[in-house]
Amino acid sequence: MYNMRISKSIKSTLLFSFAFIIIFSIFLLACGNNKDFGKTKLVFKHGKIAGESKYLTDLITQFESENPNIEVVEEVLPAITDQQRQFYITSLESGSDDFDVLSMDVIWIPEFARAGWLEDLTALFSKDEIQLFFPGPLRADTYQGKLYAMPWYVDAGVLYYRKDLLGKYFLSPPKTFNELKNICRIIKRQERNSKLYGFVWQGKQYEGLICAALEFIEGNCGHILDADGNPIINSPQVINAMSFMRSLIDSGITPEYVTTADEEMTRHSFGNGNVIFMRNWPYAYNIFNAEDSKIKGKVGVCIMPHFDNCPSAATLGGWQLGINKMSKHKKEAQKFISFMFRYESQKYLALNVGLKPSRRDIYTDETLKDKQPFISDLYDILMKAVPRPITPYYPQISQVLQTSFSEIITGSKSAEESLNEAQGKLAEIISRSG
């Protein structure tokens, strides 16, 4: 009888244990499916935000409060765009569903869409909603007639200048590159400050160098490709523009360190009060006017200079939001993207972080215009911003351009020699892809 009771007790224990294992397994399965007691964990992958990133986190918290069944997990990638792209390619090529929403450089969309890595967003926004956004980024986000991303915030290269120094010597912001050189010489001679640099820009061998160089090239009526998509990079206009960039270093207007400089290095140099002119993106304006800035109230912004008889050019930049094709939470991802493109969301990031809205209707907002007076001028620049070649094969083109432009500004090859070599390489890439 005693043994029978023990047997029954053992059976009860085994049944209880078995039931517990089943319940625990279901719990683990739910967690493994990115759910936590009915709450979906939506992973948002993006690069490091320049400036106060806490405001983006605050905005995400607001989304979560409006959608209590969704928890957004931020996973931040390095600020360097090339590193971000490599991460995405490795993950997406393997079919990873570890993240749901991703931010992308404007130049990546055709490549990622062609590879089948992005969810089609064409039906997510109405035609009226689409018309609220700048046309240039939308063209870049469209592949074979379908919309695969939306412009999160937009960029265009601008010229920052020390308005206090220019005002001190009764000088106006330059309209041409030669005027810029003359202003630098005048101020440096008068200030007699050996640590004061004239003009800095992004010269490191990376995508940022192409963005900076295109503003010299297009500002000299030059182009990378012609209207039919054929390379014309060894034209006299391009050769002269790139030779001029190197001459800025040779003449001492631009310091040698720009050949290793990215956006943040040049921003810090200008922000420390050591530079008269800087080419950079609009995000820096808020940082320069923060309470702890050494140059608060001393900074002006204008359109990039140009060469004689040619228009000013600003390279189109910006970041896009898309959805991983392999995501298991596409409906939640669509909600999140829709939220990020609301008027209030874009205005919040513009006011607090300095990210420039992709919605055109925000540029007439009085609060934004009051805090960022140059925003009205920026609207016209963004409407006319020059995109880099929109093609799935841009990564290959970019590698050729980065190498060639770096050779020129470091002085290892003449502009003519390097661009003639690049012409042949671009022709080969386009021929293969065609």
Beta strands 35-36 and 39-47, pairing class: antiparallel
* DSSP label at residue 412: S
User: What φ, ψ does residue 150 adopt, rounded to 5°?
Assistant: -130, 140
Considering 51-55, 62-66, 77-81, the range whose residues carry the highest mean pLDDT is 62-66
Beta strands 275-280 and 158-162, pairing class: antiparallel
Domains of the chain, residue spans: 37-155+317-383, 158-313+393-433
Look at the block and give the residue holding tokens 């050949």.
259
Contacts of 140 (CB under 8 A, 6+ apart): 106, 107, 109, 110, 316, 320, 387, 390
pLDDT digits (tens, 9 = 90+) for 342-395: 999 999 999 998 889 999 999 999 999 998 888 887 898 898 888 898 888 899
pLDDT of residue 266: 98
User: Does residue 32 register a pLDDT over 90?
Assistant: no
**Which residue in 36, 123, 100 sits closest to 332, CA to CA?**
100
How does residue 44 score in pLDDT terms, banded at 50, 70 and 90? very high
pLDDT of residue 365: 95
- Per CATH, 37-155+317-383 and 158-313+393-433 having the same topology is answered yes
State the amino acid at position 428 in one-letter form.
E
Class of domain 37-155+317-383 (CATH, top level): alpha beta
pLDDT digits (tens, 9 = 90+) for 382-404: 988 888 988 888 999 999 999 99
CATH number for 158-313+393-433 (one of 3.40.50.40, 3.40.190.10, 3.40.50.620, 3.40.50.2300): it is 3.40.190.10
pLDDT digits (tens, 9 = 90+) for 131-149: 999 988 998 899 999 999 9
**Residue 350: HSE in the Cβ half-sphere, 13 Å Cα cutoff:** 33
**Which residue in 117, 107, 115, 44 sits closest to 77, CA to CA?**
44
Range 345-349 contact pairs with CB under 8 angstroms and sequence separation of 24 or more: 345/59, 346/153, 348/55, 348/59, 349/55, 349/56, 349/59, 349/153
pLDDT digits (tens, 9 = 90+) for 77-135: 998 888 999 999 999 999 999 999 999 999 999 999 999 999 999 999 999 999 999 98
Q: Helix 330-340 and helix 343-352: axis angle, to 10°?
A: 60
User: By the 8 A CB rule, do 158 and 225 touch?
Assistant: no
Query: What's the whole-model pTM score?
Result: 0.77
Look at the block and give the residue holding tokens 């295109």.
214
Alpha-carbon distance of 133 to 138, in angstroms, equals: 7
